[in-house]
Every structure is written in C-alpha cells, then in structure tokens.
Structure 1
Amino acid sequence: MIRVVATTPFDGQKPGTSGLRKKVQVFQQPHYVENFVQSLFDSLKEFEGETLVVGGDGRYFNREAIQTVIKIAAAAGFGRVLVGQGGILSTPAASAVIRKHEAFGGIILSASHNPGGEHGDFGIKYNIGNGGPAPEPVTDAIFARSQAITQYRISDAPDVDLDTQGITRVEDMVVDVIDPVEDYAELMGTLFDFDAIRDLFGAGFTMRFDAMSAVTGPYARAILEETLGAAPGTVVHGQPLPDFGGHHPDPNLVHAKDLYDLLMSDHAPDLGAASDGDGDRNMIIGRGRYLTPSDSLAIIAANAHLAPGYAAGIAGIARSMPTSGAADRVAEKLGVTCYETPTGWKFFGNLLDAGLATVCGEESFGTGSNHVREKDGLWAVLMWLNILAVRRQSVAAIVADHWATYGRNYYTRHDYEEVDAAAAEGLVADLRARLDTLPGSVLGGLTVEKADDFAYHDPVDGSVTTKQGLRVFFTDGSRIVYRLSGTGTAGATLRVYIERFEPDAARHDLDTQAALADLIAIARSLPDIEGRTGRSEPSVIT
C-alpha cells in the first residue's frame, strides 16, 4: 500500500559538488531523507517502469536510507531497482552497473572521503543514465523542488532483505539484490592484462592495499587476492564498517600515514595503495617514492597504451583546473588536447560522452577513464599494476624516467579545514576584488604575470561555469590557486594549490615544501590567511 505523507520543506537541501552531504543527525530527522528523495524523483521525467540502481559505501545510516529510497522509488513508479548486497556499491561500481544495465539512473548513499559513524557524515547523490553525477540543471531543479515540497509518497511494504541475493517485490516494482563486485570486476578484466599482472605477483612482487575499512575492501580482495594472485593479507582494513573502524577514509599523507611510513621504511613492499570511503579516490606510493595524484595522472596517460583496453591510444586528457600541468605536457607530446575543467567529476562527463577525452584526473586523489563516469580508485591501482607488469621497473624508476622526459611539476595543496565560513568567503571576495591590480606587482621577489577567476566554457554544450577558483600566475611559470571546497559539512575548507615547473633533472629530487617555500610564503601573505581566519598553518598538507 502506498501512503501519502504531508511534509514541509527543510532549509539547505541543495546538492553540492557531489550530492547532498550533512551530518548523520540531519539525515535522521523525520521526513528529511523522504523529502529529498521525493524532490529528486519529482525533478525527473519519463522514468515509469525504468531501472534505478541503489547502493552505498556502508557507512552509518546506509541501510536505513536505502530502505527509504526503495520504498519511495516503488511509489514513484520505477519498474526495477538493482541494489548491492548488504547495501554496498562503490561509486565507480554503481556507475558501471548503471551503464551495463542501461538504467535510468542511480542513487548513491555516501559522503565519499568524509568520516562516518553515528556522529559522522552522510550523503545522497543522484547519477544520471550515463553513470555520471547529475549536472547542475538537475541538481538545481532538485533543490528548487525541495523548497516547495508539501507531500511525499512511500510504500509501507516491509523492509527488503539486503543481505540475500535474489528478487523480491515492493508494490509492483522488482527489487534485485545483486553481487556488488561482479559487474565491476568483469569490466576491469576487459581493460587490463590480468595475465601479466598475475605473472608480476607470481614473480614475487609485493604490495599493500589499504581499503580503510571502507567500500573497496570486497572489490580489492576479489580482484587483487582471489583473481590476480596477490598474497593473502595484501588487502588490509578490508571489511566495510559503519564508522570505517574509526579511520578518516581519505587516502592522503595525513589519514594514510601508516601506509606512507611503511613504504618509506626498510620493510616496504613494492607498491602501496589506498582508496577512500566510497572507492573513487586513490593514493599510489612506490617503495621510497610518494606520487602526487597530478603526477599519477600524467604517468597513467603516458603509459595507458600498455593496457589492452587503451592499446589504441587515448583521445584526450581532462584535468581539473587545480590539478598540476604535468598532464598538459603529456598531451602535447601525444598530440592530443588536455582539457582544463572546474573541480567536480560531472564536468568530465560531456568530454567523455563526446569522445574528446579518455583519461581524466583531479589533484584530490581522483583518477579515471571513459570506462565509467566517475573517478575510480581501484581502476587507478590496476592501471599502475598493468604498467609495472609490462615495464618491469620500480615505481621510483618509472617516475624518474617520466620527470626526465617531461620535467617535474613541484606541487602541493594546503587545506585549511572547518574555517569560519564567513571569514573564508570574505577572504576570497577580497582577493577576487584585487585580481585586476596584481599583474606587474612583485610578491616575495616574484613578478605576477596575470591573475583571474577561472571560468569554464564547455566545448560540448557551450555552457559557462564561473567563479571556479582564483589563479595567480608568475612570470617564471609558477602559480597559486585559491578555492573554497564544496565537500565538507562543517564551516568552510579553503584549499590553496601551489605549483612550480622544474625542467632541470638535476633538481628533481628536492623536498617539495622546500622547493616551493617562497611560493608558500606568498600564498599565505597575499590574502592574509592568518589574519582573516586565525590559522597560522594548514590543517592538511598534501
């Protein structure tokens, strides 16, 4: 039986870069999830009888939210729901399932790399039929509807057994509980040379993959250990837990420090890798060599042809604007275009669908390709394993060779997390107002060449996206970028990106923070970060 429930709008149900993210307690409010999901369905058209994919990263409140989504989908008229067993689907796996089964779209329950648990974060994201995040016209429509909603429709059927694969019904809608790994693993087998990777492990190659007690554990164990022959125990923290085992599931130098320390030690395996809460981010570390996501993207693009799925070469590269220019030099040598987009994977979707780009990446530990329409952490790890299996060199040797060929982009990101939102917005607004006065000025001994507020003109649909980050370029080719992030749930996060190109191979092994020390000082003093935010040091340096 379908019930019609009267409701009133909640403030702030506006999806951000990657959906709606709030604290768990916010989502637990009566009617909160129902309002947002009903607003989502009210904003879509012609989905009656169609298929919807549903799953999440296993964080606290995942199962409860999935039951609500299923019951509202049944009331809305969907014909079929595919839901991952246990409520589990990584974000890239959800994209793969949407695409393989030609679903109308999908709902992913996740706050990605944000902390989980009863007092952590939760999120809901809608992906469209190409498997990618909903574009802004869709998210704008969802928000507008959420501010006017007066009722929602929901089935009062019993909860679905999420732990048993098979088919049940909710009203007239089929609910198919599927193996969350199978479709994704099958896709990976078409892209990479699994035989070569098996041989690599068979020859004694060692690695550690830290799933951070998040969603990629089942995927990594099935593919790395069971299919490719990595030693048992290669995958650590492999069981998805509602609170991620107390981890902050963000694979960077702060939250995956144990992995970094291991790879820098005398007991290091050949490769270290980690993924995040929902499986779309990655960190790659070789024995004695940490690799920035920007460099990883560039090296993957330069070597993608070594994997069977990319043997014909790549059509183009796309990177977010804050990502370093390392990929641009690879694109130039390959004779393809490198597209510079705003941050947010949804901006890559048009390029991928149009066949203009094959490999994409963001400096925020996200890399992927045209196989899905999301960044994909485990895909990046498998690509690196394929490269290592063919080249039979260490990660450090491959990195050194790449820098010798293309030069090195020294690059760092300084995050100031949970800054007072008004202070952060004031800092950005003041600097934006001063951009036109900066060219020609000398800061810390460096001359400003130009400064702007990045705007993106989509080459496919002609849309324009403005105010995507403040950029300051210097005459020596260095740059500083300032941007407010949209992925947090408390206060504001100010991200500062600092970059300098070094063509001289004799200077490729400097400490990154030392190589950028003068730019770091400028980056802090130019907008007076300490004076405006009270922060003398960043929360996280990557």
Structure 2
Amino acid sequence: MAKNRGTSGLRKKVKVFKQPNYLHNFVQSTFDALSADKVRGATLVVSGDGRYYSKDAIQIIVKMAAANGVRRVWIGQNGLLSTPAVSAVIRERVGADGSKASGAFILTASHNPGGPREDFGIKYNMENGGPAPEAVTDRIYENTKTIKEYLIAEDLPDVDISAIGITSFEGPEGQFDVDVFDSATDYVKLMKSIFDFQSIQKLLSSPKFTFCYDALHGVAGAYAKRIFVEELGAEESSLMNCVPKEDFGGGHPDPNLTYAKELVARMGLGKSSSHDEPPEFGAAADGDADRNMILGKRFFVTPSDSVAIIAANAVQAIPYFSSGLKGVARSMPTSAALDVVAKHLNLKFFEVPTGWKFFGNLMDAGLCSVCGEESFGTGSDHIREKDGIWARLYASIGLSMVATIIRVMTMRMLTQLQAKELMAYLVQLQSDLPEVNKIVKGIRSDVAKVIHADEFEYKDPVDGSISKHQGIRYLFEDGSRLVFRLSGTGSEGATIRLYIEQYEKDPSKTGRDSQDALAPLVEVALKLSKMEEFTGRSAPTVIT
C-alpha cells in the first residue's frame, strides 16, 4: 500500500480495492493501530458517500468488526452518511442502550469520481469526530507493510442496510449488534441547534430571494430535501442533482467552476449560461458533502473569501457563536483575507498545514471556532470536519464578498517524479532572493519585490508535533503570494496546486475580472517555477 500524506486514509481505483484481501488488510491494520478500548466492546460507525463498491465494503467491515470484538456497528440507511454527518454522529448520537461511538470508517474518495473504473476510498475518524492524527495513520501504514493475517466472521450473514432497525447476531466475541438508522436525523438536529431556522425560512419564503443547490449526485442529496424543503420550506425545484448515485451520474463531484457546469450556467456564469434570470444564491457540495462552492447572481465567492466572511459575521449571524469566537484558523495556502479579519476583530489566529486534523487539535484545545482551507472547505467547532451544508446554511443568510482577489490554479502532473523535481527546484531557488527578484523583474517589471520565501513548517501548539514540507511560499512586498503545494488527494499520479493571491485595498478595483487582475502574477508563477519545462504543460487542468 502506498503512503498518502494528503488524506487520513487510502484512495485508489476500485479495481485496486477489489484485489484479494486489499481492503481487508487496510481495515485490520487500522484495528491493530488503535488501542484495545477503541475496538473491543466498542461502537463504530461505518458509512460513506454511497459511491460504487461502498455496499460491498460495508459488509466486509461489519464482519471484520465482529471478529475483532467490536460490540456494535452503526450504519446510515443505505450506507449513506456525509463526512460531516459522521463527525456529528460520533460526537452527538447516543444509542438506545446509552452507547456512544468511539470512531468511524468513512467510505469516500471525497471529490473524486465514482464508478467501476473510478475511485474508492476509506479513512478512519477518531472519538472526537475528526480525522485520525498522523501518529495513528503512520501506525496504520506501518502495519500494512507487515500484516500476516486478518480476522473476519465469514459466517455472519449480510446486513440489510436499507431497513432501519437493530439486528443482533451471535458473533465470535458474543452478542454483536448492527444498528441501521436514518442518515439525516442527528445532523438536522445539530444544524437546528446552531442556526435560527425560522429566520432562514423567512428568507427562503421571500419572493425576492431565489436559490438553487446542487448536490452533484453525491451524499448531500440525502440531506438537501430534508433540510431545505421539509424544514425550511423551499421549493423542491430549487434542488439540482440531489439523488445520490454510485457513479455521481457520470460526473465529477467536485464543486468548482470547472465541474459544477450546470449550476454555474444557471447562476449566469460561463459560456453556456442560461438567458433566464439567475437565482440570487447558489451552492454545490462534493461527493461526501464536506466541501462547498458558493455563488451569487453572476459572481463566484472563492473559498478563501468565504471563510473570511464567515469569521467576520459569525457572532451577528449565527446563534451558536453569540458569545464570541475563540479564534480562527486557515490552511497555509488559503488567502490572507482571514488574517485581516482576525486582526480587525482581535481574534487568535493560526496558520496550519492543509488537513482538517490540524484544525481539530486547535478546536479540542478550545483555541479555534471557525476555520477554512483553500480547497472549498469551511467549518467550525460544532464538529471536527469541514461541512458543506453548514457553510451553505450560513451563506444563505446573504453575505457579501470581501476585497481580496484570489485565483487557485490546479495542475495535474503526469508523474510523481515531475512534480517532485519541480518542487525541489523551487526550494533550491529560495536560497538566493536577489537572484529570485532578478528573475521576477526579468519576467514582469510591474510585479512587487519578493521579500520572503520558505517551505512551510508547522509546530502544533497543542501536541507539539511538527509537520514539514507543507508547501513552498513566495511572499511579495505588496502582500501578494505564490504558494506551490504537492497534493495527495487523488487516487493516482500527482497534483501540484498553485495558489496566486493579490490583496487589493482599493474598493474601486475589486470588481475587476480576477484573471486580468492576476495575469502578471500568473506569468511570474509559471515562468519562475519553469512549469512548462518540468511538466510539459503551460495551462492548468482546473481553475477555481
């Protein structure tokens, strides 16, 4: 098994997971990496985004859980639970016998495509509802290299995951229960404790406010009708692609301007935009509903802007935060707009590596209330995962954009070697800033001077752990930034993510087209990194 630092678990093609014992080895390696009290006699959640192979995987994990001494398994109906809902279930749900979950296997490859020839994934979340920390994922990985056997109750019958109710079996370690429950109940209850649903209902019932929500045929569809239609009274016609499908309807469940084409057109953006009057507000979620994209009528809110907006308005807009924010945090590549908000509101501020586990540590220590990352993820301390539906409920209150221009360019490389060579070159280049500025000025004389360059390293203020090689930064005198990060969220190959940011203080200039505004920095980024020379590519695969 290949080690993938970009996720808390494993993502590969379905055909890889279907290899004999492949999934079994990962699951057993995970059980072996956990302390005994988190397995024997414990309660585990097993569910996911419903992608192809999930139903087979659930039956395998249930039988292995029984053989390893787990007391009970909770499964969302039809195997569906969004990643944020899993976190909520771990933290909030209490079984009929008073039991609480100690962890969860989440079956998802997040925003990657699904289907027989596409991607599958599995990760483990801990008792706090958040992704397993690196100490645990490192143990899992080491176990996969030496595993000799796994435990499985082959004689245990398959469970009907479509029927709500508790089924009891006589397992190898005694009584073993499988509880299939409604996927939305616990999550909806939590959302109603956070937001003023009556106020949102009034907004949605106003003839002047129209909206649409695109689940991209992911698991968010299991929550959309319940929350927006049944709880908030919206018209069902406001929902798009809200029937979860194993292959996401043949689409790519990544909520960005490239893949959410139907929503983008409906909102009045893009070449194929409808001539009808666009809704006032639009949003989309990825396959497991932890990422989100927010759109206004004919404009797009970047994920970096959305977390800054949430932090700036949280106390006034959300009852859950009425007593104030403990602090805010962002991933290193995310725009510095949040830094400005934190300074203005005198809030504790943290810059962490990409990965929700780092936010979880801060939240568990009571240091952070609102956080976000560059890849369309925002959330708060109500759970320990990013939460796409939570972000959409918040944004529906009617927030405006902040004065930051940011563009994220995602470049998919052909091989890991090309990506690593490019990153190594950028690290080497940082040792001589005068030479860097000579190169920059030779490319574009109108770009500011580079005043600092480094490879981002993070020391966790809670547990003292150090995370190295988290991205390469070039910081300019005027506040602009170039960030290059090697990503591990795909199932094969390598991805370099290039983040280009320019902070604009002049309100008269914030309405400019972002591609035009960032053109000088884009040219510098591509030529400074020798992107085409290393990769053979002069344009990104995805722009968000």
Return the TM-score normalized by structure 1.
Answer: 0.93
Of 82, 85, 92, 2:77 maps to: 85
Which piece of structure 1 moves more, 12-21 or 450-459? 12-21
Could you tell me how far apart the structure 2 residues matched to 1:525 and 1:495 are?
15
Could you tell me how far apart the structure 2 residues matched to 1:476 and 1:232 are?
47
Q: Which residue number corresponds to residue 155 of structure 1?
A: 153
Give aligned-pair identity as a percent: 52
Q: Which residue number corresponds to residue 417 of structure 2?
A: 422
Which piece of structure 1 moves more, 126-135 or 445-454? 445-454
Could you tell me how far apart the structure 2 residues matched to 1:61 and 1:152 are?
20
Letter in structure 1 aligned against 2:408 = R
Give the superposition deviation at 1:262: 1.5
Letter in structure 2 aligned against 1:279 = A
How big is the alpha-carbon RMSD for the aligned residues of Structure 1 and Structure 2?
A: 1.2
Could you tell me how far apart the structure 1 residues matched to 2:176 and 2:371 are?
36
Could you tell me how far apart the structure 1 residues matched to 2:380 and 2:372 are?
8
Could you tell me how far apart the structure 1 residues matched to 2:354 and 2:418 are?
22
Conservation of the 8 A alpha-carbon contact between 1:107 and 1:125:
yes
Could you tell me how far apart the structure 1 residues matched to 2:201 and 2:437 are?
56
Q: Which whole-Å deviations, capped at 9, do the CAs of 1:311-336 have from their partners, x for residues lacking one?
A: 11211111000000111111111110
Letter in structure 1 aligned against 2:484 = Y
Conservation of the 8 A alpha-carbon contact between 2:53 and 2:120:
yes
Of 52, 63, 88, 1:60 maps to: 52
Of 445, 448, 451, 2:450 maps to: 448
Q: Which residue number corresponds to residue 485 of structure 1?
A: 487
> Is the partner of 2:24 in helix, strand or coil?
helix
Q: Which whole-Å deviations, capped at 9, do the CAs of 1:44-80 have from their partners, x for residues lacking one?
A: 1123111101101000000000111111011111111
Conservation of the 8 A alpha-carbon contact between 2:308 and 2:338:
yes
> Is the partner of 1:513 in helix, strand or coil?
helix
Give the superposition deviation at 1:14: 5.2
Conservation of the 8 A alpha-carbon contact between 2:4 and 2:488:
no
Give the superposition deviation at 1:384: 1.3
Of 425, 428, 434, 1:433 maps to: 428
Of 511, 530, 539, 1:509 maps to: 511
Q: Which whole-Å deviations, capped at 9, do the CAs of 1:123-182 have from their partners, x for residues lacking one?
A: 000000000000000000001111111111101211110000101134122110011110
Conservation of the 8 A alpha-carbon contact between 1:212 and 1:244:
yes
Q: Confirm or deny that 1:321 pairs with 2:332.
A: yes
Could you tell me how far apart the structure 2 residues matched to 1:84 and 1:39 are?
24
Give the superposition deviation at 1:410: 1.2
> Is the partner of 1:450 in helix, strand or coil?
strand
Distance 1:158 1:15, change over 3 A: farther
Of 260, 282, 292, 1:272 maps to: 282
Conservation of the 8 A alpha-carbon contact between 1:13 and 1:36:
no
Q: Summarize the alignment of residues 19-418 of structure 1 with structure 2, pairs less than 5 Å apart.
A: 19-45=9-35, 46-47=37-38, 48-101=40-93, 102-156=100-154, 157-170=156-169, 171=171, 172-204=175-207, 205-264=209-268, 266-305=276-315, 306-385=317-396, 387-388=397-398, 395=399, 398-399=400-401, 403=402, 408-418=403-413
Could you tell me how far apart the structure 2 residues matched to 1:15 and 1:532 are?
23
Q: Which residue number corresponds to residue 463 of structure 1?
A: 465
Could you tell me how far apart the structure 2 residues matched to 1:259 and 1:56 are?
24
Could you tell me how far apart the structure 2 residues matched to 1:144 and 1:41 are?
13
> Is the partner of 2:187 in helix, strand or coil?
helix
Conservation of the 8 A alpha-carbon contact between 2:5 and 2:488:
no
Conservation of the 8 A alpha-carbon contact between 2:6 and 2:355:
no
Could you tell me how far apart the structure 2 residues matched to 1:341 and 1:497 are?
16
Could you tell me how far apart the structure 2 residues matched to 1:269 and 1:249 are?
22
> Is the partner of 2:150 in helix, strand or coil?
strand
Conservation of the 8 A alpha-carbon contact between 1:15 and 1:143:
no
Could you tell me how far apart the structure 1 residues matched to 2:388 and 2:186 are?
16
Q: Which whole-Å deviations, capped at 9, do the CAs of 1:269-322 have from their partners, x for residues lacking one?
A: 111000000010000001122100111111111111111111112111110000
Q: Which residue number corresponds to residue 8 of structure 1?
A: none
Give the superposition deviation at 1:518: 0.7
Q: Which whole-Å deviations, capped at 9, do the CAs of 1:347-395 have from their partners, x for residues lacking one?
A: 101111111110110110000000000000000001112x33xxxxxx5
- Which blocks of at least 5 consecutive residues in structure 2 are unaligned? 94-99, 269-273
Letter in structure 2 aligned against 1:21 = R
> Is the partner of 1:427 in helix, strand or coil?
helix
Give the superposition deviation at 1:18: 3.4
